[in-house]
Homo-oligomer: A and B are copies of this chain.
Amino acid sequence: MELKILENIEIAQNTFSLKIDNPNLFDALAGQFFMVRINGFNYPLLRRPFSIADFNENYIEIIYRVVGEGTKILTKKKAGEFIDILGPLGNGFSDIGTGKKIFLVGGGIGVAPLIYLKNVIESQYRLPYKAYFGFNFKEEIYVDFGEIATMDGSVGFNGNVVDLVEKELDENSIVFACGPTLMLKRLAYVCYDKNCKMQVSLESRMACGIGVCLGCVVETQDGYKKVCDNGPVFDYREIVWQAL
Contacts and interface: CB of A to CB of B under 8 A. Distances in A.
Interface in A40-61: 41-43
Interface residues of A, number: 5
- Copy number in the complex reads 2
A50 B69 CA distance: 27
Interface string A64-89: 00000100010000000000000000
Contacts of A42: 43
A74 to B, nearest CB: 13
Interface string A13-56: 00000000000000000000000000001110000000000000
A181 to B, nearest CB: 28
Contacts of A43: 41-43
A38 to B, nearest CB: 11
Contacts of A73: 41
Nearest to A43: B43
Nearest to A81: B76
A60 B32 CA distance: 49
A41 to B, nearest CB: 6
A41 B73 CA distance: 10
Nearest to A73: B41
A73 B42 CA distance: 12
A41 B42 CA distance: 12
A13 to B, nearest CB: 22
Nearest to A39: B43
Interface in A104-130: none
Contacts of A69: 41
A69 to B, nearest CB: 6
A-B interface, 3 closest residue pairs, ranked by CB to CB distance from nearest: A43-B43, A42-B43, A41-B69
5 contacts: A41-B43, A41-B69, A41-B73, A42-B43, A43-B43
